Structure formats: C-alpha cells, structure tokens
Structure 1
Amino acid sequence: MTARKLVVFDVDGTLVDSQDHIVAAMTAAFDAVSRPLPAREVVLSIVGLSLGQAIARLLPDCATPEQEAATQAYKTAFGQLRAGHLSPLFPGAADMLAALGARDDVLLGIATGKSRRGLMHILEAHGLSGCFASCQVADDHPSKPHPSMLLAALAETGVDARDAVMLGDTTYDIEMARAAGMPAIGVSWGYHRPDALRAAGAGRVLDAFGDLHAALADLWGAS
C-alpha cells in the first residue's frame, strides 16, 4: 500500500494575497505608538512570523509595553479590514486545492502565523473549511521557523516527513521545513525573493500554482 502524502501550505503570501490588509494594519500599529512606518517591502518581509515576533522585529527599539500596544492596534485594525473586505486567493489556488483534495493519496495541511480565529475566518469565507486534515496556527506554537507546526502536522496526520512537503513564500517557511526534516517548495508570488527561497533550501520555486503537479511528481514520483 502506497503511503499517504501530506502537502502543507502557508497562508499569507502563498494561498492568500493579504498584503494590502497587512500594510494597512501595520500602519495603524505604528500610528498607535507614534513611530514612522518602515518601507512596504520591510513590512512585508516579516509576513510569516507570529505577530508578536513580527512587531518586535519591526520595533526593536521600543519597550515591551509599546510593542504590546502596537500588536493590539494591529489586531484591531486587521479585524476591521477583514470584516469589510476579503483578501483574495492567488490565481489558481482554489483549483489546485480542489485537485489535490480529490486525490486519495494526498492530505492537505496548513502552517500559518495567523491566529486560529483569523485562519477560520478566511477558510470559511473562501469555502475551504473542509479541505485540510491539519491546521497549525500561531496560537499553539512558537513562531516560524521553529519546526513545531510541521512536527504537529506530521503527528496529527500520521505521515512521515519524507512523504510530506511544505509550500511557502518566505524563508521562514523553508527553514521551518528543513528543521522538521521535510522538503520545501517555494512560490515566487509572495513576500520573499525566489533567490532567497532557494538559498534557504527550497528544492524548487514555482511561478504558478499549475506547476505544483509536476513538482510533486518530481518529488514523489508520478502516481
């Protein structure tokens, strides 16, 4: 009997194009502590980290109370933005999830820096609630690139690391996969450059979701 495979997806920057919400919410966070917002590319470079760690990285000179105030302001602003406008899926994401979900030999998972509440909102809004056998969120784990999320996904699904793969857009995703003993595939449409993903250990960087079928076939053999 062929062992089941597990494909674990990052969310922001991989499945969902949430950059406008992230930048707007981070603007509110910096306004709350009267600090100038860094350049857009700097703000987006921390996507994938848990929120507290992301704020600490962007505001290293701020005392803990200021960082906590910025974190709360971000959460409030992001919630308001989310209620008013849904961040879209990247082109091809829905079709790819449907195709993989229809396979008997593949399970799908998520490993995200989002909170569980934020993840459930986006999955429900896009009609994806039943797609994933494992959903690992920032509420329950250390921030990426710690491997805790992926180790939990492997344990929850009963899949061996060699039969799993992480798909993400940041070096944090790739480093997390390597730390968990899993292969990793990067995507070029997210928040870190393809060359940085390759340098971090991505075996392949996709330019479109349609390329994932061939990448998985190369990784695990055609089935």
Structure 2
Amino acid sequence: MAYSLAIFDFDGTLADSFPFFLQAQQRLADKHGFARIQPDEVEALRRRPVSDLIRNSGLPLWKLPRIASDFRTMMRDHAAPIPLFDGVDTMLGALAARGVRLGLVTSNARDNAERILGAENFRRFDDVDCGMSILGKRPRIRAMLRRAGVGPAQAIYIGDQDSDGEAARGEGVAFGAVAWGYAAPDILRAAGASHEFARMDDITTLLAP
C-alpha cells in the first residue's frame, strides 16, 4: 500500500523522552496527589493500556490538562537535551525526498517539538498540530487529512501507544506501531497495528522504498 501522508506522534516515536517522563512523573505525582511509578513496575506497565494506567493511578481525569501543562513546562525548562531516536533524521529526510507529506500530531508543546527535532527536521513537516486536546487525537487526524486533501486509505499514523492505534482506526487510517516506544508490541497489536516497525529504517522501507 502506498501512503502519501505519514502522520507521526512525537514522544516515544521520534523523541526518546521516556526517561524524562519517568523523572517528571515522580514530581507531578507528588504535586497532584497520584501514585508514583516505581522502577520495578515499568515493564509491567508497558503491557497495559493507557486507560488502565490512568484509572489505577488514582488520577482524576479533570486534572489531566493541568498535569499535561506542567509536564510540557518541565520539558521546556529541562536542562539536558532530550534526544531523538537513532535514525530519525535520515528517515524523515528520505520520506520528504520521496514526496511523502509529513504531519505531526502531539500533545506536547510546539516549542518543545521544534527544539528537540531541530529546525531542519521541523521544517520537513507539512502540517503540525501540537498541544493538549480534551477531544484526543481523532479529530486532529481528521482535520489533518482534510487540510492535506488526502483520504484515510492514503494515510498512516505512526505512534507508540494503544491510544494512537485507537485514534487512527477510528478515522480509518492505518496504524504503524513502533517497537522502541512506551507500549509493548502485544498491546500495539491488540490496538490494531497495520504495520509494525522494529527499526527506524523499517519506516523508510515501507514508505519510501
């Protein structure tokens, strides 16, 4: 299947931000009164849907926007640079060179995404939708398809969580699941992954052969 639009998640897909997330989660848990993630829980948590994690943490849903805002601020002020996964630069360059339109949909802040990606990588994206949305990613994917003039069958959404798969499937878009992000592969398969990427260059092989 040839895809003319590739929409990417950011954290855990392009940016290796999970180590920072674990550090930030400790501070946010103390501030907002929900359970800390313990080091020995991490692997088991990767095998559970995001909805279960939120429910079992004791985190009230109404606090999510405030917590997400605090997280983005902490990332902006973080002194050590958050790295991209190996091969992101090459992969994005190859897709852009083959004429694949690139989109970015993330709950992270635009300035964080631009700083971590770097100016050259950020310019490669034809459409960027950043920031927290209480409606989730489905309407954002739908809007990006509309702006690109692309039908769902011509697009793929690439991410690392089961919620990414649910959003993609809800809009009739293929879900490309990466193996290097937050959720374990079996969780992503259960979320309806159309393609599984074990390495970054697997994305290039599929989209820009």
- Residue 211 of structure 1 corresponds to 202
Farther-moved stretch of structure 1 (205-214 vs 170-179): 205-214
The AA in structure 2 aligned to 1:109 is: G
CA contact (8 A) 1:10 1:110 kept: yes
Distance in 2 of aligned mates of 1:67 and 1:171:
18
1:100 aligns with 2:98: no
Give deviations 1:86-117, integer Å, cap 9, x for gaps: 2111111110000001113x101111121233
Distance in 2 of aligned mates of 1:138 and 1:72:
9
CA contact (8 A) 1:25 1:75 kept: no
Give deviations 1:136-179, integer Å, cap 9, x for gaps: 223466224xx111111111111111111111111111111101
Q: 2:135 aligns with which of 135, 142, 145?
A: 142
Distance in 2 of aligned mates of 1:159 and 1:54:
33
1:31 aligns with 2:51: no
- Residue 153 of structure 2 corresponds to 162
Task: Return the index of the structure with the highest Cα Rg.
Answer: 1
CA contact (8 A) 1:186 1:206 kept: yes
Residue 18 of structure 1 and its aligned partner are, at CA, apart by: 0.5
SS of 1:128's equivalent in the other structure is helix
- Residue 14 of structure 1 corresponds to 13
SS of 2:22's equivalent in the other structure is helix
Q: How many residues align?
A: 203
The AA in structure 2 aligned to 1:142 is: L
Within 5 Å, give how 1:64-213 maps onto structure 2: 70=67, 73-81=70-78, 84-104=79-99, 106-123=100-117, 125=118, 127-139=120-132, 142-144=135-137, 147-213=138-204
Distance in 1 of aligned mates of 2:72 and 2:204:
36
Change in Cα spacing, 1:180 to 1:126, as seen in structure 2 (3 Å) is same
With normalisation by structure 1, the TM-score equals 0.77
Give deviations 1:182-218, integer Å, cap 9, x for gaps: 111111111011111111110121110111233337x
Distance in 1 of aligned mates of 2:134 and 2:60:
24
Q: Higher relative CO (CA 8 A, sep ≥ 6), structure 1 or 2?
A: 2
Change in Cα spacing, 1:130 to 1:42, as seen in structure 2 (3 Å) is same
With normalisation by structure 2, the TM-score equals 0.81
Residue 76 of structure 1 and its aligned partner are, at CA, apart by: 4.0
Superposed CA RMSD in Å reads 3.1
Distance in 2 of aligned mates of 1:176 and 1:200:
10
The AA in structure 2 aligned to 1:120 is: E
SS of 2:90's equivalent in the other structure is helix
Residue 120 of structure 1 and its aligned partner are, at CA, apart by: 2.9
Question: Where in structure 1 are there 5+ consecutive unaligned residues?
Answer: none
Give deviations 1:17-65, integer Å, cap 9, x for gaps: 00121111121112224554123528975xxx8xxx999657535595x
Farther-moved stretch of structure 1 (165-174 vs 29-38): 29-38
Question: Where in structure 2 are there 5+ consecutive unaligned residues?
Answer: none
The AA in structure 2 aligned to 1:162 is: A
Distance in 2 of aligned mates of 1:70 and 1:43:
23
Change in Cα spacing, 1:43 to 1:78, as seen in structure 2 (3 Å) is farther
Distance in 2 of aligned mates of 1:155 and 1:23:
36
